[in-house]
Structure 1
Amino acid sequence: MPRSTTLLTPEALEPTEFKFDLPDPNDDRIAELEFQQQIEQAWQVCDRFDLQTDIWRGRILRAVREREKRSGEGRGAGFLNWLKDREISKTQAYKLIELANSADMLLAGGYIEPEDVNRFSKQAFVETAQSEPEVQQLVGDAAKRGDRITRREVRQLSDDWTAMSSDLLPEEIREKVVDQTIPTRYVAPLVKHLQKLPESHQSSIRQAIAEQPDLDTLKQATGEARSLSRYLEAAPQVQALNDESIDIENALDEAMRLGCLNSAAELVNQAAQLEQAIAKLYTTWKRVNTLSDRLYEDTGASTPNLRSMLKSLERLSSDSIEFYFGDPRGENFSHTIRLKLEDDQISDGD
């Protein structure tokens, strides 16, 4: 894919563009509307240069990384040292490289022209690069018309495209979108959640909104689709539900019949989070034990303060963990929480 090197024009590099006068916030003679307009204009200039600077930083980083791949030892040490010398984290570097790749892709694909970049806010540009090609084309067309592109415009165009193109929506809803009876911002979330559901659940929701294609029904259907997707996504992750006698699908149908789908979905989601928290608690507890044992071996009578600290932490490193929830002094609102941890490791011979 060809890479553009003409994103910044010589005129855009002129520092004179930064020579604007900010309005005096203490000058009562400046009307509030005028003050906000001047501030917004100054902010847009900074935002534009921030975006272009980051794109070029990404291109520079990409060049350094590719040079390292070509002539280095193949382990990336030279690239990492280059980042370290300039106090750039690896995560930040790869985000900038991704931004540069996105910019070159949008330019090479003809979605935008070099001068169009000046019409984007930084976040809008990143969001455009992450959008579907059809949305990129819509955003690019808006930029070529001279529109100022912010995240709001990108999301609006994305919602418009989703509402008009999705096969998951009944024709009755698409007609409402076309005549603007139903705003697209209410339709896009429904499509997002419907995509996660099996065909049987998609069909029942589509049928409901087709029979009554109004905004209230659409909102209700979106809430139901959200709860369904949460339930179906979380249930397989819960070990406590691995019992073969439990029929997850029938339990879901019963919850829907009783009108308590949201509660069931939230329960399963919280159960999944609880099991994850237990796993994290166990690994942290093991780490505390290991560090306590190591520190105990390295200390003695000459380190009474360290020994005192270890003694105090025994209530967290022992098999019975104890801590206070609330006021640790026991005053006002407080509870003492006690947990018993048992490590039943299964050996290979068991």
Structure 2
Amino acid sequence: MTAAHPFTADLTQRGLDPSSDLEFQLPDPEDEGISEPEFRHQIETAWQVCDRFDLQTDIWRGRILRAVRDREKRGGDGRGTGFLNWLKEREITKSQAYSLIELADSADTLLQEGLLETKDVNQFSKRAFVETAQSAPEVQHLVSDVARRGDRVTRREVKQLADEWMAMSSELLPQEVREKTANNTIPTRYVAPLVRELEKLPDPHQQTLQTEVALTPDLDTVKQVTSEARYLAKYLDSATHVQALNTDALDLEMALEEALRVGCLNATADMVKQAAQLEQAAAKLYTAWKRLNQLTERVFVDSGASTPHLRSLLDHLGPLTSSLIEVSLGEPESPLAQLIRLKILSGDSDGS
């Protein structure tokens, strides 16, 4: 377990009751005597105080939860029942608890490794701090430098620094692109998405796109290759989930090359994705149809002549329980309504 590092933020270090520090005076929105810049400055200041207080509170909540969990591990029943009961009493879900514990661990790690001083925590918005904790060590160092200078760190700054580091260091980018990124000819906000999309692809596809962008290392090519990489990843991921494509008679790679050659990769990727969704929807439809039939049979057996309304309910569900499902798209009385019929054929012995 990482040792907790107590810190006292500037919100409380003056020896005041923490709650009193939140009793600041907000500007009157009806006051025409206050300028718009001054109004927004006061609002922003108040918001930052709340943001800092919220971050510190969540860090300490995470430390408390971690202590309860570890105590339970030491003397509990081995299944964490005591910890889960503790969470239940306080209306905290398990996922929320472990999210807070992760935040506390991250805070302690950043403090322990000397990346941050206790006072530096106040420079972060809550989301920025979480984003920093989840970033690569190199990005954490860059963000920590900003915080130590006393500059405000929001999620936007963290993302910008992460993009800059990725664009300058990724081996997936040709040297020509990295050089143009370094001299700001190609902005990092366009290069970072390219890296993320390339990371999703197998080596042969990476190499093809790397060659393409190396031959013409400009902004338009970076945007185009990023789009191609995105649809390539979508195609490759969706194709593995489509049973209809799981056959030796089909060469998915050749189909992909032809889609690239004729310029319809976008539509092809979306087509394969839709096919995957349709197969999943068909499986869910069949499962729901079987379950509905089981339930209607149970209700039919349990009901009788004394439950005419319940029997009427079963009759009205008939179009959904037969092997020929009928569903109306739109209001039945509307001239634009369409009646959709789906016939379910399976290998069941009942022939349905």
Q: Is the 8 A contact 1:4 1:107 kept in 2?
A: no
Q: Deviations over 1:198-223 (max 9, x none)?
A: 22222221222222111111101111
Q: Is the 8 A contact 1:128 1:139 kept in 2?
A: yes
Structure 2 partner of 1:85:
89
Q: Would the alpha carbon gap of residues 293 and 113 (structure 1) be closer, same or farther in structure 2, given more than 3 Å must change?
A: farther
CA distance in 2, matches of 1:165, 1:317: 59
Letter in 2 for 1:6: P
Q: Would the alpha carbon gap of residues 192 and 305 (structure 1) be closer, same or farther in structure 2, given more than 3 Å must change?
A: same
Structure 1 partner of 2:344:
341
CA distance in 2, matches of 1:81, 1:2: 24
- The question of 1:242 aligning with 2:246 is answered yes
1:310 is displaced (CA, Å) by 2.6
- The question of 1:11 aligning with 2:13 is answered yes
- The question of 1:43 aligning with 2:47 is answered yes
Structure 2 partner of 1:321:
325
2:254 aligned counterpart, secondary structure: helix
1:152 is displaced (CA, Å) by 0.4
CA distance in 2, matches of 1:298, 1:113: 69
Letter in 1 for 2:201: L
2:295 aligned counterpart, secondary structure: helix
CA distance in 2, matches of 1:116, 1:305: 68
What are the within-5 Å matches in structure 2 for residues 180-199 of structure 1? Answer: 180-199=184-203
CA distance in 2, matches of 1:168, 1:215: 17
Structure 2 partner of 1:331:
334
What are the within-5 Å matches in structure 2 for residues 160-239 of structure 1? Answer: 160-239=164-243
Q: Would the alpha carbon gap of residues 80 and 4 (structure 1) be closer, same or farther in structure 2, given more than 3 Å must change?
A: closer
Q: Which residue of 66, 70, 76 maps to 1:66? A: 70
Q: Is the 8 A contact 2:125 2:155 kept in 1?
A: yes
Structure 2 partner of 1:53:
57
| Matched positions, count | 345
Q: Deviations over 1:136-170 (max 9, x none)?
A: 11111111111111110011000000000011111
1:300 is displaced (CA, Å) by 3.0
Structure 2 partner of 1:145:
149
1:11 aligned counterpart, secondary structure: coil
- The question of 1:115 aligning with 2:116 is answered no
Structure 2 partner of 1:20:
24
Letter in 1 for 2:3: R
1:237 aligned counterpart, secondary structure: coil
Letter in 2 for 1:5: H
Q: Would the alpha carbon gap of residues 70 and 257 (structure 1) be closer, same or farther in structure 2, given more than 3 Å must change?
A: same
Letter in 2 for 1:342: L
CA distance in 1, matches of 2:306, 2:120: 70
Q: Deviations over 1:237-264 (max 9, x none)?
A: 1100012110000011111111111111
CA distance in 1, matches of 2:211, 2:41: 48
CA distance in 2, matches of 1:101, 1:284: 43
1:332 is displaced (CA, Å) by 4.7
CA distance in 2, matches of 1:316, 1:100: 52
TM-score (norm 1): 0.93
CA distance in 2, matches of 1:40, 1:302: 67
Q: Is the 8 A contact 1:166 1:191 kept in 2?
A: yes
Deviates more, 1:33-42 or 1:149-158: 33-42
**Could you list the runs of 5+ residues in structure 2 that have no partner in the other structure?**
none
Q: Is the 8 A contact 2:5 2:111 kept in 1?
A: no
Q: Is the 8 A contact 2:127 2:155 kept in 1?
A: yes
Q: Is the 8 A contact 2:120 2:147 kept in 1?
A: yes
Structure 2 partner of 1:271:
275
Q: Would the alpha carbon gap of residues 296 and 18 (structure 1) be closer, same or farther in structure 2, given more than 3 Å must change?
A: same
2:240 aligned counterpart, secondary structure: helix
Letter in 2 for 1:169: L
Q: Is the 8 A contact 1:8 1:52 kept in 2?
A: no
TM-score (norm 2): 0.92
Deviates more, 1:284-293 or 1:215-224: 284-293
Q: Would the alpha carbon gap of residues 284 and 97 (structure 1) be closer, same or farther in structure 2, given more than 3 Å must change?
A: farther
Q: Would the alpha carbon gap of residues 170 and 69 (structure 1) be closer, same or farther in structure 2, given more than 3 Å must change?
A: same
2:33 aligned counterpart, secondary structure: coil
Q: Is the 8 A contact 2:4 2:63 kept in 1?
A: no
Q: Would the alpha carbon gap of residues 332 and 103 (structure 1) be closer, same or farther in structure 2, given more than 3 Å must change?
A: farther
Letter in 1 for 2:324: S
1:345 is displaced (CA, Å) by 5.4
**Could you list the runs of 5+ residues in structure 1 that have no partner in the other structure?**
none
Deviates more, 1:241-250 or 1:12-21: 12-21
Q: Which residue of 296, 303, 307 maps to 2:311? A: 307
